[in-house]
Structure 1
Amino acid sequence: MLDPWPNRSLGWQVGEWCEGNLLVPEGPRYNEPWEFTEEQMHFLVRWYEVDALGDFVWRRGVLRRAKGWGKDPVAAAIVLAELLGPVRYAGNGTHTGVPKGRQEHAPRIDIVGVNEDSTQNTTTLFDPMLSPAAAAEHRWYAREKIFRAYPNGLKSEIRPVTASHRGREGARRTFYVIGETHQMVKGNGGIRMDEVVSRNLAKRVGGQARALAITNAHDPTEESVAERDYDSHVEQNKAEYKGVRDILYDSLEAEIDDSFDFDDDDQVKAALKQAYGDSYWVPLDRILKTIRDPKTSVGEAHRFYFNRIVAGVSSWMDPETWDKAYDPRKLPKKKTPIALGFDGSRRRDATGIVATDMDTGFQWVAGVWEKDWLDPEWEVSEEQVNHTMDELFADYKVIRAYFDPPFWEAAVREWIGKWPGVAAAYYTAGSNNLKIARALAAYHDAISTRACTHGGRSGEVFRRHVLAAVTREVGGRAGEEESLVTIWKKSKDSRESIDLGMAGMISWQARLDAITAGWRARKKFRVVPNPEWDD
C-alpha cells in the first residue's frame, strides 16, 4: 500500500515534463512516449516534495527495488529532468497555491558507480530516452564520458564517475545518482566515494543539491553504502530521534513469514507479485526459473527478487559437521591444563567464555551471558564474568587465555595484569581480518576432523551460536577450493548471537599458540608394582 501523497510537491510538474519529452528507451514499448506507473509517480511526487518555503523535504533518497523493476530508467528520467526540467521551486500558483517549478541554472550532475559498467546501466539510457524534439531544443550533445545540453544557452552536463573518490573531492554538483549502492563497500572505494558525495552536497550554494541512491536489497554482512543508508533511515524513524528526518527511503518487498515455503512455486510467485508491484513488464515466470537455477542461492533470491534484506552468504558451520564433533564425556578434572577464549559485548549481544582441554582438544562453555531482549536496561554483569574467570584460573591450570577487548578494555587490562604471561588481548576486529580468517579456518578444520570436540551443559547454546554465524570472504585461500572467510551475524540487528563461536575459535587458537610455544601434553605413566614394596 502506498504512503499518503504529499500536499506540496514539484513532482506533478516534473512528471508532466518527463511524459512530454521522454521516450521508452528499451523493451516492447521502445520509442513510445514515456509514462510513469502509479508506483513510480508516487515516488517522484514524494521525492520532489517541498515545504512552505519551497525547500526540499528530502536531502537524500533511496529507491530500493527488486531486480528488473525499472530503477535505472526511473533514475535516468529524473536525471534528464534535473538537467532540463522544472526541478527547482519558483513560487506558488497565484490562484491554486500549488508549487511551481523552474529549470536549475547550469546544472552539473554526476552518475556514480563502483565501475564504468555500473554507471552505464543509467547513462546508456539517456540518448534513446530524450525525444528528438527535446534534444534539438536543448542542443543535446552525447559522448561516452560526458553528456551536455544548453538549456537557456547555459552549458549543463552529466558525467559518469567511478569510485576514485579523491578525484571528486570538492566538485560542486547539483544532483547525484549513486547506482548499485549494495555493491559499494570499503574494499572498492565505495564507502569513501559516498562520503565525498555527502561533503560535496553541503558545498552547493542554496542548499538544494541532493543525491538519489538506487539499489537492490543489501547483504547485511557486507557493510555497504546501501546498509548505511538503511541504518540511517531506521535511526531517523525512531521515536526518540531528535534530528531532521531528511532521508526518503522507498522500498517494496515481499511479505514473508515463517510459514513461507520456498519450494512452493505458487508461494514464490505470490511473493514476486508483491515485490514487483505494478511493474507489468516483468516476466514473473522467467524470474521463477532463475530462482530455481541451482546457481541462485536462497539468500540471492530473497535479496534480488523478493527485495528482502537477508544474508546472501553461506553458513559457516554445517550442522552435521558440528554434531559429529559432539563428545559426551564429563568435564575435565580440576587442575587439568586448559586454554581460554573470551568474546563479549555489554548491552547489545551475548558474552561468552569457552575452555579447551589442552590434552584432548575438548571444548565446553565455561560461561555465557545472553541478552534479555525484553529488558531494555539489560547489561552483562561484569561481577559475574570476573567471578567466573577467577574460578577458572583457581580450578584449572590455565596455560594460555585470549580475550577480545572491545567493550571490555578495562577488564582485559586487569586480567592481563592479574595473570601475566598467561593472559593476552586477542583482537578480532579492525585490520586483523586475514589473521582471524586463518584462525577460523584452522578451527573449522579441527572440528571437521574431530581434533576439536565439544560438550558440556551449555552445549545447545554453543551449537546455536556456531550455527548462526555466516561467512564473508576476505581474500586468500583456506585450501585448494575454499576461500578464507570471517564470521558475522546475519545482520547487525539479528538477535541470533555468534559470540560463543568466536570465543571457541579464540580458545582453540590459544591452545595452538601454547603448543607452538613449547607446551607438551602430560605424559601418562603406568605404575608397575615392585615386589620389594611388600617388605
Structure 2
Amino acid sequence: MTTLVVPPLDDRPWPTLGPALCDFLEERAVFGPGSLKGQPAVIDDEKRSIIYRAYEVYPRGHEFAGRRRFRRVAVSLRKGTAKTELGAWVAYLELHPESPVRCDGFDQWGRPVGRPVRNPYIPMMAYTEEQVEELAYGALYTVVTEGPDADLFDAGLDRIIRLDERGRADGKAEALANSPAARDGARTTFQDFDETHRMHLPRQVDSYETMMANLDKRPLDDPWSLEHTTAGQLGQGSVAENTHIEAEQIAAGLIEDPELFYLHRFAGPGHDLTSVEGRIEAIREATGPLGEYGPGQFRGIARQWNRPKADKKYLERVWLNRWETGEAQAFDLARWAKPHEQGGLARAGAELRPGALVAAGFDGARFRDSTAIVLTDIRTGLQQQWACWERPADLDPNAEWEVPEDEVTDAWAEIRRRFRLWKAYCDPPHWTETVGAWEARWPDQFEEWWTNRRRPMAEAIRAYTEAMDSRQVTHTDDPTFNRHIGNAGKDLINLWDDDGKQLYILKKLHPTRKFDVAMAGCLSWRARLDALKKGALKQRETYVPKRLR
C-alpha cells in the first residue's frame, strides 16, 4: 500500500485517548446514511488507526503533558471509503456530553484519562449550502437522531444542540458554507471540513483561514480541526491541495515543528491502467486494508474506464486518489524509485568512486526555489546528487533568500578534487556572471547549456527517459533527487520525434514543487552522452611502470 503519513509512525507509540473513544463509538453511536443506517457503529482498522493518531497527547512529565499533539488532522482517501462518516463520528465524540475527548490526567500506567468538552462549539463546513446536509453534518444528524442517546440532543436541519441534565443548551454543532465573516467571533472547540478538494474559490479558502484563526480563542479546551477529502486537481489552489503540499514539504524536512497529522492513501505508480486487471490492483492499493464492501466492487469501478467518453483523469483522481495522473508526470517515478535488483534504477548505498570520470549538470534559481548539482559516472551511468540548496518552505514569501554563491563554487572545487570532471553543462539564467567566472577559472570544463531552447531540451529529456527505460542510468537513491524527479511534469510542445511522438519539456506540476535536481540530472546525462560521443573513455590511461623481477 502506498501512503504519505506525516509524521511517520514512531518507534514508541504516543499516549492516546483513541482506544477509549473507539469503544465509546461502538457502544453509543450508529452508522450514518447508507446501507447500514442506524445499525451500531463498527470501527474498522483504518478508521481506528486514524482516531488513535488524531487523539495522541503529550506524555506525563512533558511540559505540555495531556495536551493534544496535533492541532490539525487531515485525511485523504479515495472516493467511497466513508470519509464523511468518519468526520461525523468524530464530531459526535466532540459534541457528546460523556465522550472522553480531552485528557484529564493519567492513570498509574501513564495512560491518559479522558473527559468531555465543556460547552463545545463545532462548525462543520461544506463547499456549498446545498451540500451541507448531504455531507458530514447530515451524517452527524443521523448518528444523533438514530442513536441510543438521542434524548441528549435537540437536533435540527442546521444545528444540533447538546442538552445538559436540566435540558438547557450546553453547546452545539452547526452546518456552515462559505461564511467567514459570520464565524469571525466563534469560539471553536472542534471544526470539520468535508471534501476540501472542492473548496477552491477565494471565499471558501478565506472561510477556512478565518475558521483556523478561531482555534486560538479557547486554548483551555485544546481546540483542533479535521479535514477529510479525496485528491483534487493540482493548480486549483484548493484547501486540500494546500494541505497536501504542506504535508509533502514537512516530509521533505522543509517545514519545522509541524502541528499537522496527514494521511494520504493512494495507488502508487507502476500499475497498468490499460487493462481491467491492472486497474483492479490499483484500486485495491488505493483502498487499503478495508478491501471491497461487496463482491465485485473493484471490478465494477475498474470497468468505468471502458466507457467511450470516460474522463480517465477524473477516474484516476477519485478512485486511485492521485493528485497527479501518470500522463502528467515527465518521468516514470515507479521505475526510478524501484531497487535496481528488482528491475528499477535505485542503487541505495552506491556512490561515485573517487577519481571517476564524471559529467555534471547544474540548474536552479538563485533567489527562489532551489539550485542543484548532479554528477554522472561516464563509464557506469550512475548518477549522484552532489549538492542541492532549497528555499525553506516555511520562510516568509517576502523574506530575502539567496543560494550562497561561495558554497556553490566550493562544491565545484571539491568535485574537481575528488573526480575527473569532463564537463559541466550549466543552465545560466540567474547565474550568468557566476558561470562565466567558473569558465574563466576552470577553462574547458564548463559550458553554458540553455534549457529554454525547446528542441535541444526536448531531445535531452527524450534521451534521459530512454536511458531510464533501458536501465542505462541508475542513481544513489537520494530522497531529494527522487522527490524532484516526481515533481517534474510534462509541457507538450509542437514538435514530434521520428516515431511521431509529441515531444515535451519540463514544467512544475505545482508552483511550490521544485524539480531543479531532475533538470540537473537531465543536463548531466546529456553531458555524459556527449562525452561518450567524443571518445572520453578512449583516452589513454596513465601509464605507471612496474618493477620486473
TM-score of the superposition, structure 1-length normalised?
0.60
Counterpart among 490, 495, 512 of residue 509 in structure 2: 490
Partner of 1:167: 182
Specify whether residues 494 and 381 from structure 1 end up closer, same or farther in structure 2 by C-alpha distance, changes over 3 A only. closer
Q: How do 1:91-170 residues align onto structure 2 when only pairs under 5 Å count? A: 91-93=105-107, 95-120=108-133, 121-130=135-144, 132=146, 134-138=148-152, 140-152=153-165, 153-170=168-185
1:24–1:32: 8 Å Cα contact kept in structure 2?
yes
1:215 to partner: Cα distance: 1.0
1:151 to partner: Cα distance: 4.0
Specify whether residues 281 and 26 from structure 1 end up closer, same or farther in structure 2 by C-alpha distance, changes over 3 A only. farther
Partner of 2:532: none
Partner of 2:490: 468
Partner of 1:46: 53
Specify whether residues 215 and 267 from structure 1 end up closer, same or farther in structure 2 by C-alpha distance, changes over 3 A only. same
Partner of 1:220: 234
Specify whether residues 457 and 60 from structure 1 end up closer, same or farther in structure 2 by C-alpha distance, changes over 3 A only. closer
Partner of 2:335: none
Partners of 1:27 and 1:155 lie apart in 2 by: 30
Specify whether residues 163 and 373 from structure 1 end up closer, same or farther in structure 2 by C-alpha distance, changes over 3 A only. farther
2:21–2:100: 8 Å Cα contact kept in structure 1?
yes
Q: Match for 1:43: what amino acid? A: I
Specify whether residues 38 and 30 from structure 1 end up closer, same or farther in structure 2 by C-alpha distance, changes over 3 A only. same
Q: Match for 2:321: what amino acid? A: N
1:126 to partner: Cα distance: 2.2
Partners of 1:223 and 1:123 lie apart in 2 by: 24
1:40 to partner: Cα distance: 0.6
Specify whether residues 375 and 23 from structure 1 end up closer, same or farther in structure 2 by C-alpha distance, changes over 3 A only. same
1:313 to partner: Cα distance: 9.8
Specify whether residues 55 and 463 from structure 1 end up closer, same or farther in structure 2 by C-alpha distance, changes over 3 A only. same
Q: Match for 2:509: what amino acid? A: K
1:111–1:160: 8 Å Cα contact kept in structure 2?
yes
Partners of 2:261 and 2:100 lie apart in 1 by: 20
1:92–1:98: 8 Å Cα contact kept in structure 2?
yes
| 3-state SS of 2:15 partner | coil
Specify whether residues 498 and 298 from structure 1 end up closer, same or farther in structure 2 by C-alpha distance, changes over 3 A only. farther
Partners of 2:254 and 2:158 lie apart in 1 by: 45
Partner of 2:194: 179
| 3-state SS of 2:219 partner | coil
Partner of 1:285: 299
1:382 to partner: Cα distance: 5.0
Count of matched residue pairs? 368
Counterpart among 3, 13, 20 of residue 13 in structure 1: 20
Partners of 1:142 and 1:130 lie apart in 2 by: 7
Partner of 1:249: 262
Partner of 2:79: 67
1:173–1:201: 8 Å Cα contact kept in structure 2?
yes
Partner of 1:304: 318
Specify whether residues 313 and 105 from structure 1 end up closer, same or farther in structure 2 by C-alpha distance, changes over 3 A only. farther
1:111–1:176: 8 Å Cα contact kept in structure 2?
yes
1:110–1:173: 8 Å Cα contact kept in structure 2?
yes
Larger Rg: 1
Gaps of 5+ in 2: 60-64, 330-363, 372-383, 390-407, 409-425, 436-452, 464-487, 494-505, 520-549
1:231 to partner: Cα distance: 2.3
Task: Calculate percent identity across the aligned residue pairs.
Answer: 21
Q: Match for 2:182: what amino acid? A: G
1:109 to partner: Cα distance: 0.3
| 3-state SS of 2:47 partner | helix
Partners of 2:265 and 2:490 lie apart in 1 by: 27
2:276–2:299: 8 Å Cα contact kept in structure 1?
no
Partners of 1:305 and 1:25 lie apart in 2 by: 22
Partner of 2:280: 269
Q: How do 1:339-418 residues align onto structure 2 when only pairs under 5 Å count? A: 345-346=365-366, 348=369, 375-377=387-389, 381=428, 385=432
TM-score of the superposition, structure 2-length normalised?
0.59
1:29 to partner: Cα distance: 2.9
Q: What root-mean-square deviation, in Å, do the aligned CA atoms of Structure 1 and Structure 2 show? A: 3.8
Moved more, 23-32 or 12-21: 23-32
Partner of 1:323: none
Q: Match for 1:178: what amino acid? A: F
